[in-house]
């Protein structure tokens, strides 16, 4: 495996016509954490799964926070830039197209930051339990980039209004956002898998999409 800027796992594609997935774990996960989810969401797709480089109380994360729900935005911007650089390295090293990010919690938050800070680095995103990463997002144009946000109705970490504000920010930037609230807390449920897989299938086969998800 090439020595790239992030510790990571890569599984090559076993099926044509599927976009690669960039798997971004939550706090305390690692590069193996979301591989089963990726295989279930898009069988045969290439999977690129980095480990968050920040360690908080022994738990990997993708960027620093000052408190629960309070992000170090300077660090977030730096880390998002580093992650965008890693994605470019991996695309060149493995010969893959722009990936669709699948992020959970902290991973979903940095995926949202990637969309807003580095447009073009992703082909879309599935944001599981995401919240607003930047208090004042930059003005960007996402040109119909497909985004699915799945929130939990009883999530104690992400307030409903915060998730709704993220959806509004991404729509204002031009993304094609689907935001749904599931009967769930902060953790993932079988419903997340069912809905995210259906959305990926719909996006892949939607001929009218401005940014179709294909390899």
Positions annotated as catalytic residues are 105, 155, 186
Q: Scanning the structure block, which residue is given the tokens 């000052």?
A: 66
For 202, the 3-state DSSP assignment is: helix
For 182, the 3-state DSSP assignment is: strand
For 152, the 3-state DSSP assignment is: strand
**Helices 106-117, 160-172: crossing angle, 10 deg rounding:** 20
Is the sign of the CA dihedral 158, 159, 163, 165 positive or negative?
Answer: negative
Task: Return the structure tokens found at 194.
Answer: 């069912």
Is the sign of the CA dihedral 202, 206, 209, 215 positive or negative?
Answer: positive
For 28, the 3-state DSSP assignment is: coil
CA–CA dist 64, 77 (Å, integer): 10
Minimal CA–CA distance to 143: which of 163, 120, 164?
120
Angle at 154 between CA 177 and CA 127, to 5 degrees: 30
């Amino acid at each position: 495996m090439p020595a790239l800027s992030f510790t990571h796992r890569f599984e090559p594609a076993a099926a044509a016509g599927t976009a690669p997935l960039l798997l971004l774990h939550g706090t305390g996960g690692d590069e193996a954490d979301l591989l089963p989810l990726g295989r279930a969401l898009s069988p045969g797709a290439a999977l690129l799964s980095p480990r968050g480089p920040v360690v908080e109380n022994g738990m990997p994360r993708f960027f620093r926070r000052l408190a629960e729900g309070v992000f170090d935005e300077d660090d977030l911007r730096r880390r998002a830039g580093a992650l965008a650089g890693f994605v470019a390295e991996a695309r060149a090293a493995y010969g893959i197209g722009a990936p669709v990010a699948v992020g959970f919690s902290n991973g979903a938050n940095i995926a949202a930051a990637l969309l807003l800070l580095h447009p073009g680095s992703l082909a879309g995103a599935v944001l599981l339990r995401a919240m607003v990463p930047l208090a004042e997002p930059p003005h960007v144009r996402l040109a119909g980039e497909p985004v699915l946000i799945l929130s939990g109705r009883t999530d104690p970490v992400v307030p409903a209004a915060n998730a709704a504000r993220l959806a509004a920010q991404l729509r204002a930037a031009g993304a094609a956002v689907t935001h749904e609230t599931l009967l769930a807390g902060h953790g993932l449920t079988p419903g997340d898998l069912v809905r995210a897989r259906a959305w990926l299938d719909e996006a892949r086969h939607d001929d009218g999409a401005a940014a179709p998800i294909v390899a």
